[in-house]
Structure 1
Amino acid sequence: MNMLNIGCGATFHPDWVNIDLGGGDHAISHNITNGIPFPDEMFDVVYHSHLLEHLPLENALPFIKECFRVLKPGGIVRILVPDLEQIARLYLEKLSSARESEADYDWIMLELYDQCVRQESGGQMERYLRSSHASQSPFVVERMGHSAVYAEQEVRKPAFKLSTRILGHFLCKLRSELAKWAAFAIAGESGRNAFREGVFRNSGEVHRWMYDRFSLGRLMTSGGFDDVRVVSPLESRIPDFARYELDVCRGVVRKPDSLVMEGVKL
């Protein structure tokens, strides 16, 4: 089978074609706002996890249509996004008991809002994970799933991450700094801050929209898919999907906050 994993990040499998904005040894570097860089009807499976919510709403349907385009007839799309319905229900539950468990309430508020409003990488969520509260909270560990295994060691690393492409990183950083000073020269400190925030918000980290089972299902149907249904992270119509450990690793769900939906190109 020919299988495509879009926006793979660090979750990939060598049997798949993996593409990601950052690229790397394991993935093709590509910005999917420019479309999917493959011909029509090339893949049996298209998969993406926690990618769609990073696209502006107006770009969501064109992207879903691109997923449809590169699938063969009979091909399967599998999409994971943060589940707005689940988060909203948990927010109301934790609100009702906030005085007894402020830490749980604080975390679900971060899930709901932080990645939509943050102005710097990691935001309030990373600051929370760097504190001692995270590892002491069963609710946070439950919500983070497999990610909780790595979260503490990852977020406690120094914030600066050296790019393997040192020259490219340096030139990009230099260009950005020059642009910030140009914005400062034209509009002062507020102009520089606005430029910095704009660059960050277009970096792909923030959430541009949220989905529930109705809105995601409608989007997939509008993109051409049939037999659209909600599935468990533990099940799939993709043959032998579990062995790739994209959604469940060693029996632990990677992202328990996910809404998982599949559709078929007839």
Structure 2
Amino acid sequence: MTPFAALHHRPGRPLLLPNAWDHASAAALAAEGYAAIGTTSLGVAAAAGLPDGVAVTRAETVRLARRLGRSGFLLSVDAESGFSDDPEEVACLAVELAQAGVVGINLEDGRADGTLAPSAVLAAKIAAVKAAVPELFVNARTDTCWAGRHDPGPETVRRLEAYQQAGADGVFVPGLADPAAIVALVERLAAPLNVLWTPTGPGFAELAALGVARVSLGSLLYRSALAAAVATAAAVGAGDEVGPVPGYAEVQELSRK
């Protein structure tokens, strides 16, 4: 078991995975002691002026992975649906990321129009990735909850079991927040369950007690940074107090990490 995979097998101690969108955000998180950091596809896309979830940020994703992949922390990359429906092309991406030092990849079945790809499509991608890079931790995400289903019903279970059988090391159900539904999936599935933290859902301690193995923050930090930037500009204009914020030298130092 790789060090990153081992972080998903600590009963009662989920991996809290913060998500970065550039070198500075990743370096700042690593400086706070986070051993593993993910990327956020929304943050990477928005920072480049591109839309998320429509397979147009492959180059930006690989470029960031090359910058962060050997920075002293474990890096997992959000690769949307793999930027292709051709399993071999997705496997080539996985090889490229692994060569850059990436230890994990997220692959999803959601589509830009809000529908879901057939489970066989994502299963084929997972199998191709695991055949090409067996040591890469594949976190298979289903967007059933975001497609209008709010509990681990038959469709969610069917998809996750198919992804497990294809070789997924972990499974991810963003939008899943009901405690009973979380427990049902934990008990049903062999693969570690990843959920997305939400302000209206269970807190981190409760998620740990429910058996969740990984808690992701997704685009939350990026969106919080945008909100803070706008709020700071407004505070200056209103004559309100601003701060505390990192100093120039402190941010400059991040470029050396």
TM-score when normalising by structure 2: 0.33
TM-score when normalising by structure 1: 0.32
Greater RCO, 1 or 2 (C-alpha within 8 Å, sep 6+): 1
Bigger CA radius of gyration: 1
